[in-house]
């Protein structure tokens, strides 16, 4: 059975990669390439040469998520993830959200959507980074309150959010292990 995918944030770095990878796998059918309302290519076909995705070339760019997909994979923005979570919940579309920078109110919208459809939210989907989350928690447990923990990060010059979702994920793992309140104890 083919899984129908909507990729939100499809023109971004992760979106383009997801389009190209899912296009090469016959178990997936790309049904939507979703971007923001003012995106200049809305209604036009996907550029096969740029994305290296020949099967996806029949898909046009859409503004906002539309019913018809089985799963939306969203690496857009906090506002985009929230808007899509509401649409996905109403339409019965499962959601994978990888956008970072969501505040507590926005995360709450995803939790509410998860009462109706499966929602997976992660600050980073890399196996190695998720191992780092676990190792950071273990280091915090071993070191305890006798040590201050500092997270320093560097990124490419197009990085939108700082601290990144990955850095915040490490901080959350450490805070959770030490019984700290991330909102109260995190210094940025």
Residues 160, 88: Cα–Cα separation, whole Å: 25
Reported residue count of the chain is 188
Q: Where are the alpha helices (DSSP H) in 6-160?
A: 13-23, 48-51, 78-91, 104-113, 127-143
Bridge partners, 23 (sequence order)? none
Phi-psi region of 120 (alpha: psi -120 to 50; beta: other; left: phi over 0): beta
Quick: pLDDT tens for 34-75: 998 889 889 888 877 777 778 887 888 999 899 999 999 999
Note if 159 is an active site residue.
yes
* 97 neighbors 31 (Cβ within 8 angstroms): no
pLDDT at 169: 87
Q: Which of 111, 155, 156, 172 is catalytic?
A: 155
Q: pLDDT band for 111, please (50, 70, 90 cuts).
A: very high
**Cα→Cα distances 69→11, 72, 88, 89, 128, Å:** 18, 7, 9, 12, 30
This prediction has a pTM of 0.83
Average pLDDT, the chain: 90
pLDDT at 128: 93
Span 83-88, mean pLDDT?
96
In the chain, domain spans: 3-121, 127-185
Note if 155 is an active site residue.
yes
Q: Is 95 helix (H, G, I), strand (E, B) or coil?
A: strand
Kindly report the CATH number that applies to the domain delimited by 127-185. 3.30.360.10
Report cis status (omega within 30 of 0) of the bond before 19: no
pLDDT at 158: 75
* 81 neighbors 105 (Cβ within 8 angstroms): no
pLDDT value at 160 more than 80:
no
pLDDT value at 161 more than 80:
no
* Structural class in CATH, domain 3-121: alpha beta
Bridge partners, 94 (sequence order)? 71
Q: pLDDT band for 27, please (50, 70, 90 cuts).
A: very high
Q: Is 13 helix (H, G, I), strand (E, B) or coil?
A: helix
Q: Which of 4, 111, 159, 172 is catalytic?
A: 159
* 11 neighbors 39 (Cβ within 8 angstroms): yes
Is 127-185 the same fold as 3-121? no
């Amino acid at each position: 059975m083919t899984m129908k995918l909507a990729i939100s944030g499809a023109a971004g770095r992760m979106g383009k990669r997801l389009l190209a990878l899912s296009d090469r796998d016959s178990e997936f059918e790309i049904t939507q390439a979703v971007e923001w309302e003012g995106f200049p290519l809305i209604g036009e076909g996907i550029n096969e040469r740029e994305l290296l995705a020949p099967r996806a070339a029949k898909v046009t760019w859409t503004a906002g998520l539309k019913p018809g997909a089985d799963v939306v994979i969203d690496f857009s923005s906090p506002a985009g993830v929230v808007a899509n979570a509401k649409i996905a919940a109403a339409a019965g579309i499962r959601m994978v959200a990888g956008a970072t920078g969501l505040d507590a109110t926005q995360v709450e919208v995803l939790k509410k959507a998860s009462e109706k459809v499966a929602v997976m939210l992660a600050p980073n989907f890399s196996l190695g980074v998720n191992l780092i989350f676990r190792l950071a928690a273990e280091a915090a447990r071993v070191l305890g309150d006798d040590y201050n923990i500092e997270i320093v990060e560097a990124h490419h010059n197009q990085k939108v959010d700082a601290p990144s979702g990955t850095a915040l994920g490490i901080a959350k793992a450490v805070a959770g292990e030490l019984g700290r309140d991330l909102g109260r104890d995190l210094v940025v």
